[in-house]
Amino acid sequence: MLDIKILREQPEFVVERLKTRGLQFDLSQFQKLDSERREIIQELDQKRQKRNVLSERVAKLKRDKQTAPEQGESARSESEALGKMITLLEDQIKSADVKIEQFLLNIPNCPHASVPVGKDEKDNVEVKRWGTPGEFPFQPKEHWEIGEKLSILDFERGAKIAGAGFCLYRGPGALLERALINFMLDLHTGEHGYTEVLTPFMANEKSLTGTGQLPKFKEDLFSLEDRGFYLIPTAEVPVTNIHQSEILDEKKLPICYVAYSPCFRREAGSYGKDTKGLIRQHQFNKVELVKFVHPDASYRELERLLENAEEVLKRLKLPYRVMNLSTGDLGFSSAKTYDIEVWLPGQKKYREISSCSNFESFQARRADIKYRTAEKGKPGYLHTINGSGLAVGRTLVAILENYQEADGSVVVPEVLRPYMRGLEKISKA
């Protein structure tokens, strides 16, 4: 969430930055809640001071042995009345704090100054490209047609088992998915310095609130409401919450984790989009990169994380481009996001395969993750960064479309062959 001090001390800045997102932020509601809270605190301080003065007066009278019975009874009654009023005011402050917190939980992050101002994805700015889309001596097919003809993707049986939005992988298709997961994990742990973690695939409400999925995006989640759990929409949720309510040593930053996980999303509001194939599924696999970094280094670390994600595509020799998302296309919790989009010849377009974001202290405030300096001063909120390294299903899509042959077979990228038992080509059995 946003720093409440900025809302109090620089309200115009917040209004202006959120305006670039297309959000007309009504500051008066916050100011009203904050003013009411300050009035309660002021009254509480007065009552506490009055009780302290009364206690000192009674103590002095006792020491001087000048307390008449009626004076003592009056003082006790007044003290009890003050105590009840103080308890009531303390409860009112707790209630005011909850209202302010609920208000803050629904405000998105302020975009960084380097984010291009725009209304939507049409205003995203291309940063760079790598690789040249290949030319085919035939009309390239889309991945679902390739996968079904090779009998490695079975959408019909996936739907029979669970419903629309699920796929069954078979034989070399399942092996390719697993090969990609292992290849990505090995690359990020072996060469990029990330520590692998395997987290629970369910999370509680506090964890999802910490990363920004709740309360705003509850309709996108699959929930087990009778147990208080949600299926995770991304490993970002459990990995970020590894250090929930902790104070980390500044010397240990950055802390870098990589995690494989299945992801579960209801895809609310996406009806009619990508109804065929693997691009938009209710369940999919992803390898996630998460960093806990010092605020002074966060944008440098964002660039490094982006390079780590890009390296996967370079090793697979898949053409891609990097987009700096505009303010209108920015995610709720993000201050800046780069999207990596891979080229899909079957669709004749670039499609997102990774989002690499800097949340600054937005998630750290919600999840209460701090760092302490070497001087052992007051702890501060660190910055969190994350990105897909990569979305596994979409990487498989890119391989099927970019490595397809005229006879319907698919060449296995050279870097994956050790993970594919030496298989060089997927052909129809």
Which burial class, exposed, middle or buried, applies to 41 when counting CB atoms under 10 A from its CB (0-12, 13-18, 19+)?
A: middle
Residue 35 CA from chain centroid, whole number: 31
Q: Catalytic residue at 394?
A: yes
CB under 8 Å to 40, separation ≥6 — which residues? Answer: 89, 92, 93, 96
Q: Which of 352, 372, 405, 417 is catalytic?
A: 352
Q: Catalytic residue at 280?
A: yes
Distance CA 188, CA 312 (A): 9
Helix (H, G, I), strand (E, B) or coil at 125: strand
Compute φ and ψ for 313, nearest 5 degrees.
Answer: -70, -35
Residue 65 CA from chain centroid, whole number: 66
Closest to 17 in 3D by CA, of 113, 122, 118: 113
Neighbours of 127 (CB within 10 A): 13
The runs of H, that is alpha helices, within 2-131 are 4-9, 11-19, 27-63, 69-105
Distance CA 179, CA 37 (A): 56
| CA atoms within 13 Å, Cβ hemisphere of 322 | 19
Tokens describing residue 112: 């960084």
Q: Which of 17, 21, 265, 365 is catalytic?
A: 265
Q: Which of 355, 357, 361, 388 is catalytic?
A: 355
Q: Catalytic residue at 38?
A: no
CB 220 within 8 A of CB 213: yes
Q: Which of 37, 280, 372, 417 is catalytic?
A: 280
281 strand-pairing partners: none
Active site (catalytic) residues? 265, 280, 352, 355, 394
